[in-house]
Amino acid sequence: MNAPPPRKLSLDEWTIRYEQLRRDGLHEPVYGGPLRRHVIREKDFRLEQLRFDNSPAALRLWNFLLTENERLRQARADGDKIVGTMKDLGTVPVMAYALPGVRAFYPDGAWWTPCLMEGSDKLLQQAEALGIDASFCPVRAMLPAFVNGEHFPKPDLLICSTGAVCDDFSAIAQRLEHLGHPILWWEMPRRRQPASGETACALPGNLTAPKIQVDCVRAELQRVGQALGELAGKTLDDHCLAAGIRAANQVRQLLAALRETVYSAPAAPLPALEMLVAEMFALHFCSDRGESIAVLGGLLDEVQTRIRQNQCVIGADAVRVFWVNPVADLRAMNLLEELGGRICGSDYMFTHALDLIPENLPPLEALARAALADPMVGPTADRAARIIRECQAGRAEAIVISRIPGASHCAREGEIIREIARREIGIPVIELEIPPVCDALLPALGSRLQALMEMLKAKRLK
């Protein structure tokens, strides 16, 4: 039977589509099933407001994403060690997965939970009771998630970077430690250009840093590696780590191919929402590295097929938008497309986790360089330079910066990116603040995005 053309489906439509796929002999992994069950079992009510790509590959993506809690608990039951890692965004998991029987995840990924559950879980209110109020970023949702133990198993080891990180995140993590969850801290210096006479090291993403900084991060990662080795009962040696880096690079290569294929296509073959979720896999493989490769491979096959067949999910006349920062409420990604936009590039704040980790360097050195390329630890101007390059590659007509309420990095980045984008490529930049559940703000968000679309379409006519 021929597959239906690409389109976006509501949850109810997906239920019907799922039954059809089952009748047609859909093969599913162990975590498969209808999307509706996540609303029923996990109370992820937000799924009812979202619109999803209609491909089996997208179904697998969503099911994989939404079963991470189950997967981690099963791993714990099977005797695996669970590592909660925070703030490094993509570095420590490479080390953890290099060891057999160890899985890493990001507890601060719980910041999406209030949105997925439309706030019914009260995590944000409970965070306030635990001493972290609404002036902090929604990452504070992880605090009560640690207390109630419902959204992830309690980790065997907690690791968090400090130093050049979000101020508010650091405060939340320190509060977590004071609540009785010991943390192994490691220090990340603020990246700077090598001074005259200093030895420079090339970092992924066309960046450089002084060798002294790379040495500092390498020494810190060595300490992290020792702790991970002790947890696993096996030394994290260079051989082991090099294999872990190669496997992580396999995920990153797939993601790079997916991004390139989707963002450069004249008409978008995959919606922005599924791309955002897929890019998140770069961080910690959604707690199963092997399966994340299979999920991403399936998505890549799907988009390549669609492009070959001249099919798309968003028309070629859509306004090409480069999106900066992940959204607290996933509904915003749908909204952009409903109003006539499409994503042609993204910087979800972890671009260093998308770049390949050098395989021609000693493994710890390579990881230290990758970690130092984190956009959060360097000047926003560095981040803006990458955004400009990718805007040009993706022929972006505008940049949308979605602000995360309370996130300290948001204080200055918008203005800097706006100024550099205007100067270098002359495209408009708008900032939108997107709270965890943006329903009340949808008319206002919609107005801004619609005005942007009107402005850019008028510019095309000119």
Partner 1 sequence: MIYAGIDAGSRSIKAVLFDTGRSQILASGLTDQGVEQERLAAELFEKLLRDADVDRTQVSGVVATGYGRNAIRFADTTITEITCHARGVHRLAPDARTVIEIGGQDSKVIALEAGGRVRDFAMNDRCAAGTGRFLEMVATRLDMNWEKLSALAQQSTKPAIISNMCVVFAETEIIGLLADGKPLSDVVAGVQNSIATRVSALAGRFVSPPVYFTGGVALQAGMARALEEALAFPVRVAPQPQFTGALGAAVLAGERNKADK
Residue nearer to partner 1 on the CB measure, 150 or 454: 454
Indicate whether 416 belongs to the interface with partner 1 (CB under 8 A): no
Indicate whether 450 belongs to the interface with partner 1 (CB under 8 A): yes
Judged by CB under 8 A, the stretch of 67-75, 179-187, 250-258, 452-460 that binds partner 1 is 452-460
Whole-angstrom Cα distance, residue 45 to residue 419? 39
Report in angstroms how near the CB of residue 239 gets to partner 1 at its nearest. Answer: 53
Judged by CB under 8 A, the stretch of 147-155, 227-235, 381-389, 442-450 that binds partner 1 is 442-450
Indicate whether 430 belongs to the interface with partner 1 (CB under 8 A): yes
- Output the CA angle 24-39-128, nearest 5 degrees: 150
Judged by CB under 8 A, the stretch of 83-91, 134-142, 326-334, 428-436 that binds partner 1 is 428-436
Residue nearer to partner 1 on the CB measure, 274 or 433: 433
- Residue 298, Cβ density class (10 Å: 0-12 exposed, 13-18 middle, ≥19 buried): middle
Task: Of 86, 96, 89, 223, give the one whose Cα is nearest residue 160.
Answer: 86
Indicate whether 454 belongs to the interface with partner 1 (CB under 8 A): yes
Whole-angstrom Cα distance, residue 15 to residue 35? 7
Within 13 Å and on the Cβ side, how many CA atoms surround 137? 26
Report in angstroms how near the CB of residue 430 gets to partner 1 at its nearest. Answer: 8
Inter-residue contact 66 to 42 (CB < 8 Å): yes
Residue choice 4, 200, 415, 423 for contact with partner 1 (CB under 8 A): 415
Report in angstroms how near the CB of residue 444 gets to partner 1 at its nearest. Answer: 4
Report in angstroms how near the CB of residue 448 gets to partner 1 at its nearest. Answer: 6
Residue nearer to partner 1 on the CB measure, 58 or 452: 452
Report in angstroms how near the CB of residue 316 gets to partner 1 at its nearest. Answer: 20
Indicate whether 175 belongs to the interface with partner 1 (CB under 8 A): no
Residue nearer to partner 1 on the CB measure, 23 or 460: 460
Number of H helices and E strands in the chain, helices first, is 18, 12
Report in angstroms how near the CB of residue 422 gets to partner 1 at its nearest. Answer: 8
Residue nearer to partner 1 on the CB measure, 36 or 457: 457
- Output the CA angle 86-91-96, nearest 5 degrees: 85
Residue nearer to partner 1 on the CB measure, 115 or 427: 427
Report in angstroms how near the CB of residue 380 gets to partner 1 at its nearest. Answer: 16
Residue nearer to partner 1 on the CB measure, 122 or 448: 448
Exposure string (b/e) for 110-127, b if CB count within 10 Å is 16 or more?
bbbbbbbbbbebebbebb
Report in angstroms how near the CB of residue 348 gets to partner 1 at its nearest. Answer: 23
Report in angstroms how near the CB of residue 138 gets to partner 1 at its nearest. Answer: 16
Residue nearer to partner 1 on the CB measure, 30 or 444: 444
Q: What's the Rg (C-alpha) of the chain?
A: 21
Indicate whether 447 belongs to the interface with partner 1 (CB under 8 A): yes
Whole-angstrom Cα distance, residue 333 to residue 175? 32
Indicate whether 459 belongs to the interface with partner 1 (CB under 8 A): yes
Whole-angstrom Cα distance, residue 27 to residue 125? 41
Within 13 Å and on the Cβ side, how many CA atoms surround 380? 18
Tokens 């207390």 identify what position? 147
Judged by CB under 8 A, the stretch of 135-143, 280-288, 306-314, 448-456 that binds partner 1 is 448-456
Inter-residue contact 429 to 351 (CB < 8 Å): no
Indicate whether 433 belongs to the interface with partner 1 (CB under 8 A): yes
Report in angstroms how near the CB of residue 262 gets to partner 1 at its nearest. Answer: 28
Residues in contact with partner 1, counted by CB under 8 A, come to a total of 17
The CB density around residue 429, as the number of other CB atoms within 10 Å, is: 22
The CB density around residue 322, as the number of other CB atoms within 10 Å, is: 28
3-state secondary structure of 231: helix
Indicate whether 460 belongs to the interface with partner 1 (CB under 8 A): no
Indicate whether 428 belongs to the interface with partner 1 (CB under 8 A): yes
Exposure string (b/e) for 233-258, b if CB count within 10 Å is 16 or more?
eeebeeebbbebbebbbbbbebbeeb
Indicate whether 199 belongs to the interface with partner 1 (CB under 8 A): no
Indicate whether 455 belongs to the interface with partner 1 (CB under 8 A): yes
Residue nearer to partner 1 on the CB measure, 122 or 457: 457
Sheet holding 184-188, edge to edge: 102-105, 81-86, 157-163, 184-188
Inter-residue contact 120 to 42 (CB < 8 Å): no
What is the binding site for partner 1 (CB under 8 A)?
415, 419, 428, 430, 433, 441, 443-444, 447-448, 450-451, 454-455, 458-459, 462
